[in-house]
Amino acid sequence: MIVTETNLKDCFVIEPKIFGDTRGYFFESFNEKVFEDKTGLSINFVQDSEAFSNKGVLRGLHFQKGMHAQAKLVRVVKGKVLDVAVDIRPDSKTYGKHFAIILSEENKKQLFVPRGFAHGYAVLENNTIFNYKCDNYYHPTSEGGIIYNDPNLNIDWMLDENEILLSDKDKKLGLFKN
């Protein structure tokens, strides 16, 4: 497993070692000991979730606040997304900065998004299945979000504006500065 820290502290790209032959492939998607050895972070995932979406769906930017903050390990099982993490930790040197990566069924890359980050993704192919592990349970009253097209973040979502499909909740998210 190759683990590379992004330009955002504690946010890592994880590339599993894939074993393939004529029958198909096998890879270990998570190993707690290897993760801790390579990142220096101790993590205890308590919830796995999965989402199905078609091209143009944009989910985010979401986060959980306070004691309900969540770290996530995200990957694509089928299809392709542009995955984005935004550092919203006020005391961080990379506060307000973002990291974006293509996650796909072909590259099998994963992104570890630590607590104190907003997270979102844009679906780039139809029939995409997105999977994520969380180290804390979802708590509705602790959720927050940032509008996807915040001018201060200036994220290129790799979709035309007229292709983007948002939930009603995501259409109402506020600006990063607030």
Chain segment 147-176, per-residue pLDDT in tens:
999 999 999 999 999 999 999 999 999 999
pLDDT tens digits, one per residue of 62-108: 999 999 999 999 999 999 999 999 999 999 999 999 999 999 999 99
Q: Is the pLDDT of residue 177 over 90?
A: no
Helix (H, G, I), strand (E, B) or coil at 68: helix
**Can you tell me which residue has the tokens 């969380």?**
134
Catalytic residue among 25, 132, 137, 139: 132
Identify whether 98 is part of a domain.
Answer: yes
Give alpha helix (H) positions in the chain: 32-39, 168-171
Question: What is the pTM for the complete model shown?
Answer: 0.94
User: What pLDDT score was predicted for residue 1?
Assistant: 87
Residue numbers of the domain that contains 152: 45-171
Q: Is the pLDDT of residue 33 over 90?
A: yes
Identify whether 99 is part of a domain.
Answer: yes
**Would residue 25 show up in a list of annotated catalytic residues for this protein?**
no
The rounded mean pLDDT for the chain is 96
CA trace torsion 150, 8, 27, 23 (10° rounding): 50
Catalytic residue among 25, 62, 98, 137: 62
Identify whether 76 is part of a domain.
Answer: yes
**Would residue 132 show up in a list of annotated catalytic residues for this protein?**
yes
Identify whether 32 is part of a domain.
Answer: no
Identify whether 25 is part of a domain.
Answer: no
Strands in 2-5's sheet, in edge-to-edge order, are: 2-5, 12-15, 110-113, 72-78, 128-134, 47-53
Instruction: State the total domains in the chain.
Output: 1
